Amino acid sequence: MHKDDLMTPRERANAFARGEEPDRMPIVLGYGAAAGDLLGLDYDDWREKPGLRAKVAVNAYNEFGYDGVSTTYDTDALVELFGGELCVNRRGPNAVQRPPVADLRDLGMLDLDLVCSDKDYTFQHTSEVFHRLKDALGDELPQIGFGIEAPLTLAARFAGTGYILKSILRRAELVRPLLEFFTALVIKVHSFFVSETASFTVFDAVSSGSLISPRIYQEFSLPYEKRIFDALKEKRSDVSIHLHICGNTQKILLPMVSTGADIISMDEAVKLETAKQLIGDKVILSGNVPTMAVILQGGPVDVDRSIRDCFAQAYDSPRGFSISAGCAIPPGTPIANMRQFMATARECARIHARGKNLSPASFFNA
Ligand SMILES: [Zn+2]
């Protein structure tokens, strides 16, 4: 158990399930590629080394004690599996140098049988990391989470974002088979993990309101996400599905709920107060301390103020609220800001757990 807590995440989850008061509410943090900073490692040093990757995640959990630890199926290596080329980024996710799909009329290189086979190195090492995390932290955590990107974001990675978005506007019928392929791919990958975890996250950066319109979200993202979530729920009734879309998602919050997601996470372009009014009675909200402007570029004072402001806006959201960063924490984030994030988040999450007679001011007067 972390020295600053009174319960492990597992004990906390059990307290919730029994209707008892936990020591504090859960704290969620997408501390993935940045977690190597604590050990002086660049992402490229450990992304494809399962033992080191698990060590980085366990070390970050031991240091900070947030509630969710997960592993992500990086789709980088899939780009190469299907004949594309990557441009290696030492500190963060790799960029695609040459996408596998040059022409949407030819999807012959996309072979679903390769996915999760012994040729799919990403699957092999993700599975190993997942089991190492389960062995190391399974007693403390109720679940080891699993994350993957959504079909539209995968389609953009495999054919280029500009090409996909232009094609949606001009030749939509050419894009649908690619979205079908990635829907089947995500469902296939999930099927290997659903017996071992109930905690799933789907990231959909390309469905951002900054890139596509609400109409395009409803036609080219929502139906595919819903099919993926329905498939998970069919296999397991206790799944908890976390949907994260970057950028301004205010106009698609209601459609995001109709995917069947249980937790909607948003970045700072959406005000938590607005999200609470629009969808707070339907799903758990998660967000949204500004990742770049505050956590990366600000100082501890900014982090402290921003977390209190998030709680003040969303603590009374009817279905619940979990504090988190607006997006994944970038490599290079000052460790002092991370320590402040956890210190203030813990303090507010303890107040939040008391539940009674709270007001927005409760989170500022502690
Ligand atoms: Zn994001």
For 100-146, the pLDDT digits (tens) are 999 999 999 999 999 999 999 999 999 999 999 999 999 999 999 99
Model confidence pTM above 0.75: yes
Distance of CA 365 from the midpoint of ligand 1 (Å): 30
Summarised one tens digit per residue, pLDDT across range 187-213 is 999 999 999 999 999 999 999 988 999
Distance of CA 75 from the midpoint of ligand 1 (Å): 16
Query: What is the C-alpha separation between 334 and 284, in angstroms, rounded?
Result: 29
DSSP SS3 for 238: coil
Neighbours of ion ligand 1 (CB under 5 A): 246, 327
pLDDT above 70 coverage of the chain, percent = 100
Task: Reply yes or no on whether the pLDDT at 152 is more than 90.
Answer: yes
Distance of CA 328 from the midpoint of ligand 1 (Å): 6
Distance of CA 205 from the midpoint of ligand 1 (Å): 6
Distance of CA 131 from the midpoint of ligand 1 (Å): 26
Find out if CATH 3.20.20.210 is the number for domain 9-363. yes
Distance of CA 356 from the midpoint of ligand 1 (Å): 32
Summarised one tens digit per residue, pLDDT across range 311-361 is 999 999 999 999 999 999 999 999 999 999 999 999 999 999 988 899 999
Task: Reply yes or no on whether the pLDDT at 75 is more than 80.
Answer: no
pLDDT above 90 coverage of the chain, percent = 91
According to the model, what pLDDT value does residue 146 have? 97
For 306-330, letters b (16+ CB in 10 Å) and e give bbbbbbbbbbbbeebbbbbbbbbbb
Distance of CA 29 from the midpoint of ligand 1 (Å): 12
Summarised one tens digit per residue, pLDDT across range 153-167 is 999 999 999 999 999
Distance of CA 327 from the midpoint of ligand 1 (Å): 4
Distance of CA 285 from the midpoint of ligand 1 (Å): 14
Distance of CA 207 from the midpoint of ligand 1 (Å): 10
Distance of CA 357 from the midpoint of ligand 1 (Å): 33
Distance of CA 46 from the midpoint of ligand 1 (Å): 22
159 phi/psi in degrees, rounded to 5:
-130, -5
- Give the pLDDT mean for 59-82: 92
Mean pLDDT of the chain: 95
Summarised one tens digit per residue, pLDDT across range 237-286 is 999 999 999 999 999 999 999 999 999 999 999 999 999 999 999 999 99
Distance of CA 171 from the midpoint of ligand 1 (Å): 28
Contacts of residue 285, Cβ cutoff 8 Å, sequence gap at least 6 = 263, 264, 265, 266, 272, 275, 276, 279, 314, 317, 319, 320, 321, 322
Query: Where are the chain's structural domains?
Result: 9-363
Query: What is the C-alpha separation between 261 and 246, in angstroms, rounded?
Result: 15
Task: Reply yes or no on whether the pLDDT at 172 is more than 80.
Answer: yes
According to the model, what pLDDT value does residue 366 have? 59
Q: Are 159 and 104 in contact (CB under 8 A)?
A: yes
